């Protein structure tokens, strides 16, 4: 039961003062605590082991991780002391068990659990819900189908009225795993034979009647008196000898327990094997306990290597098999989404600040004009208006960089924490190192954005032949535009390639300057494609390059510096196993040892059964 595997166990239940403890005393040949009210306040698991070679009995108590060696004479005091430690010195009860191991010559090989006697009325010092507490403990032990219920009934009461009978019938209606022992046979011999043969309460494993030890009788004396009783008493002597006496009870219990073990053996063996395999697998999956710096270095390098490979897959190759169900970790796709959103934010046509056609350009031309030939477009006009346009979109690449590196930071931190999950003592440092290196790359990208914006505003140039082609195509409409501007009799609405239908009536007063403004606008529109291409393509290449640098070089260097540093402080921390992991490791090791021992014992039992 310690490993959650139910074993065939004899569970002793009975109403208060039914004589449960006396029955156990007679079987084991040792004294148990006695007194008024509830004597058994916690489950007492008695493991009797026959040792033919034992010169002296060996007894020990086990409870709450403690082992206390005792003697036959001191057993009651030892049990009382353990009970007080578990359940307190008042009359309260607890479901925390005490195990009494008795290795002694001549005792039957049995495991029995003595439970608190059932009482409905609390006495001074007992909780008001004493009945409910006792009922819960009893049901916990008798419910498993592997449990054999030893129902202790006093011959002085009517069996159907016993609360212990009602409880056992709730979990064992057919009575196939219930045996009744009738105590105090010498106190109420009249009608006892009829009571046990009529079986009004459906006891499937039958009855055994016994006589309780009286006063200061020794166990040998009590056994002699019991034999004499059932041999000479005018009423009790009529009973079949197979249903009377403590010796017959012990023999029946041994047979029943052996048969139950044989029946449950395959299932128990499977449960033990399954639990053993699960625990071994869990222990193997736990982090290796690092005892040397060399162990820590190897573990640290494994973390770094696994993290880099995982980040390569996610951020560079687009392989998200490790996180197939988590779209947030499909990094190349998410970064591509951000880039598409950024590109769509940039205006495909050169933006303008004035809704009236060419009025922004005219405003600039008026401010930069000087004394000179009228058909020359001032260089400063194009440069001035271009810088104005660049400033209008300058925030978009900044926001794109912040969004990308914010996302990359989340991915990097998550991967590193996942790979270092077995070393929680390092995770705060790993998180800080990851954030530091991403911040470093973020600053580089922001500097790059600032640089390309400044380059675009410093000079205008392109090798792209599409600029001339586009400008030439747009300028094809300049002749018609000039005609409409000069001839006021013509309709002021004009269809221009690249511009659509425009109203030019407000431009007629400006004459030749309007024609210059048209030329300026066509140059801006043609050149804007080159600007847009550099902002979109350049940012894409920069992000891909810096992410690659981050994964291949920067992360490893930053983490090594932050975690290892001088004196290998980080590696020393790796060797400091957390108390939670250490406790889990120890629990699994103990469980594996116990399960292996149980497996060996089970094999021995199996051999004995088949030999018989």
DSSP states along 249-311: HHHHHHHHHHHHHHHHHHHHHHHHHHHHHHHHHHHHHSPPPP-SHHHHHHHHHHHHHHHHHHH
pLDDT at 30 over 50: yes
Average pLDDT of span 181-186: 90
pLDDT at 436: 93
pLDDT at 575: 54
Give the range among 20-24, 296-300, 495-499, 525-529 with minimum mean pLDDT: 296-300
* Tokens 């047979």 -> residue: 255
pLDDT at 577: 65
Of residues 78 and 581, the one with the higher pLDDT is 78
Q: What is d(CA 611, CA 594) in angstroms, rounded to the nearest whole number?
A: 26
Task: Encode pLDDT of 100-147 as tens digits.
Answer: 999 988 888 888 899 988 887 777 667 788 889 999 999 999 998 888
Give the range among 81-90, 435-444, 532-541 with minimum mean pLDDT: 81-90
pLDDT band at 375 (very low <50, low <70, confident <90, very high): low
pLDDT at 48 over 80: yes
pLDDT at 1 over 50: no
pLDDT at 40: 82
Query: For domain 10-36+121-273+600-611, which architecture applies?
Result: 3-Layer(aba) Sandwich (3.40)
Of residues 424 and 513, the one with the higher pLDDT is 513
Residues 6+ apart with CB under 8 A from 590: none
pLDDT at 446: 96
pLDDT at 188: 85
The beta strand positions in 198-246, using DSSP E, are 207-209
pLDDT at 374: 65
pLDDT at 179 over 50: yes
Mean pLDDT of the chain: 86
Residue 207 main-chain phi, psi, to 5 deg? -120, 155
- The candidate with the shortest Cα–Cα distance to 48, out of 57, 37, 35, 38, is 57
Domain locations in the chain? 10-36+121-273+600-611, 293-576
Q: What is d(CA 395, CA 346) in angstroms, rounded to the nearest whole number?
A: 10
Average pLDDT of span 402-407: 97
C-beta separation of 301 from 603 below 8 A = no
pLDDT at 461 over 80: yes
Average pLDDT of span 17-46: 81
Q: What DSSP string describes 378-402?
A: PHHHHHHHHHHHHHHHTHHHHHHHH
Average pLDDT of span 563-576: 60
pLDDT at 7 over 70: no
Q: What is d(CA 92, CA 122) in angstroms, rounded to the nearest whole number?
A: 10
Q: 336: which 2 tokens?
A: 């591509």
pLDDT band at 297 (very low <50, low <70, confident <90, very high): confident
Q: Are strands 98-104 and 58-63 parallel, antiparallel or unpaired?
A: antiparallel
35 dihedral zone (left: phi>0; alpha: psi -120 to 50; beta)? left
Task: Encode pLDDT of 234-282 as tens digits.
Answer: 898 888 889 999 999 999 998 888 888 777 778 878 888 888 898 888 8
Residue 432 DSSP SS3: helix
pLDDT at 294 over 80: no
Task: Encode pLDDT of 405-459 as tens digits.
Answer: 999 999 999 999 998 887 777 788 889 889 999 999 999 999 999 999 999 998 8
Of residues 67 and 582, the one with the higher pLDDT is 67
pLDDT band at 574 (very low <50, low <70, confident <90, very high): low
Q: What is d(CA 364, CA 524) in angstroms, rounded to the nearest whole number?
A: 13
Task: Encode pLDDT of 193-247 as tens digits.
Answer: 888 888 888 888 999 999 988 878 888 888 899 999 999 898 988 888 899 999 9
pLDDT at 395 over 90: yes
pLDDT band at 484 (very low <50, low <70, confident <90, very high): confident
Question: Burial, 451: exposed, middle or buried (Cβ in 10 Å; 0-12, 13-18, 19+)?
Answer: exposed
Portion of the chain with pLDDT greater than 90, in percent: 32
Residue 98 DSSP SS3: strand
């Amino acid at each position: 039961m310690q490993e959650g595997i139910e074993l065939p166990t004899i569970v002793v239940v009975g109403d208060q003062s039914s004589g449960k403890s006396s029955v156990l005393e007679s079987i084991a040949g040792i004294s148990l605590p006695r007194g008024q009210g509830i004597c058994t306040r916690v489950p007492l698991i008695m493991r009797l082991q026959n040792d033919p070679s034992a010169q002296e009995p060996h007894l020990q108590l086990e409870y709450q991780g403690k082992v206390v060696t005792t003697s036959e004479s001191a057993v009651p005091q030892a049990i009382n002391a353990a009970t007080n430690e578990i359940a307190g010195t008042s009359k309260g009860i607890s479901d925390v068990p005490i195990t009494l191991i008795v290795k002694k010559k001549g005792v039957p090989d049995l495991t029995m659990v003595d439970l608190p006697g059932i009482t409905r009325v609390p006495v001074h010092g007992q909780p008001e819900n004493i009945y409910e507490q006792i009922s819960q403990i009893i049901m916990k032990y008798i419910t498993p189908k592997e449990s054999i219920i030893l129902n202790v009934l006093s011959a002085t009461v009517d069996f159907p009225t016993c609360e212990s009978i009602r409880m056992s019938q709730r979990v064992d209606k057919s009575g196939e795993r219930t045996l009744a022992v009738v105590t105090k046979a010498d106190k109420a011999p009249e009608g006892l034979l009829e009571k046990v043969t009529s079986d009004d309460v459906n006891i499937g494993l039958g009855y055994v009647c016994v006589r309780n030890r009286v006063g200061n009788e020794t166990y040998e004396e009590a056994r002699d008196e019991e034999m004499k009783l059932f041999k000479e008493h005018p009423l009790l002597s009529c009973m079949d000898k197979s249903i009377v006496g403590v010796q017959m009870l012990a023999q029946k219990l041994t047979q029943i327990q052996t048969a139950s073990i044989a029946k449950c053996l395959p299932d128990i063996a499977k449960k033990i094997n399954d639990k053993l395999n699960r625990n071994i697998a869990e222990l193997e999956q736990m982090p290796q306990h690092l005892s040397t710096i060399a162990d820590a270095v190897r573990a640290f390098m494994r973390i770094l290597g696994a993290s880099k490979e995982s980040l390569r897959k996610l951020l560079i190759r687009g392989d998200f098999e490790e996180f197939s169900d988590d779209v947030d970790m499909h990094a190349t796709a998410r970064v591509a989404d951000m880039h598409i959103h950024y590109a769509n934010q940039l205006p495909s046509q050169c933006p303008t600040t004035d809704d009236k056609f060419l009025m922004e350009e005219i405003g600039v031309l008026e401010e930069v004009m000087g004394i000179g030939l009228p058909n020359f477009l001032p260089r400063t006009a194009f440069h001035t208006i271009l810088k104005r346009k660049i400033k209008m979109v300058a925030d978009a690449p900044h926001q794109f960089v912040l969004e990308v590196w914010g996302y990359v930071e989340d991915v990097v931190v998550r991967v590193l924490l996942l790979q270092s999950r077995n070393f929680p003592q390092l995770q705060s440092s790993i998180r800080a190192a990851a954030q530091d290196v991403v911040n470093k790359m973020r600053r580089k990208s922001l500097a790059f954005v600032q640089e390309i914006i400044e380059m675009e505003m410093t000079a205008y140039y392109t090798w792209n032949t599409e600029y001339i082609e586009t400008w030439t195509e747009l300028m094809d409409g300049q002749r018609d535009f000039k005609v409409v501007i000069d001839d006021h009799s013509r309709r002021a609405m004009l269809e221009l390639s690249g511009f659509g239908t425009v109203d030019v009536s407000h431009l007629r007063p400006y004459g030749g300057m309007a024609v210059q403004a048209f030329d300026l606008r066509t140059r801006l529109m043609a050149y804007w494609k080159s600007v847009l291409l550099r902002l979109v393509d350049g940012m894409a290449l920069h992000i891909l390059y810096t992410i690659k640098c981050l994964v291949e070089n920067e992360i490893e260097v930053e983490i090594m510096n932050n975690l290892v540093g001088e004196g290998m402080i980080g590696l020393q921390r790796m060797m400091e196993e957390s108390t939670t992991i250490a406790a889990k490791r120890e629990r699994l090791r103990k469980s594996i040892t116990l399960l292996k021992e149980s497996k060996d014992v089970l094999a021995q039992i199996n051999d004995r059964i088949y030999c018989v």
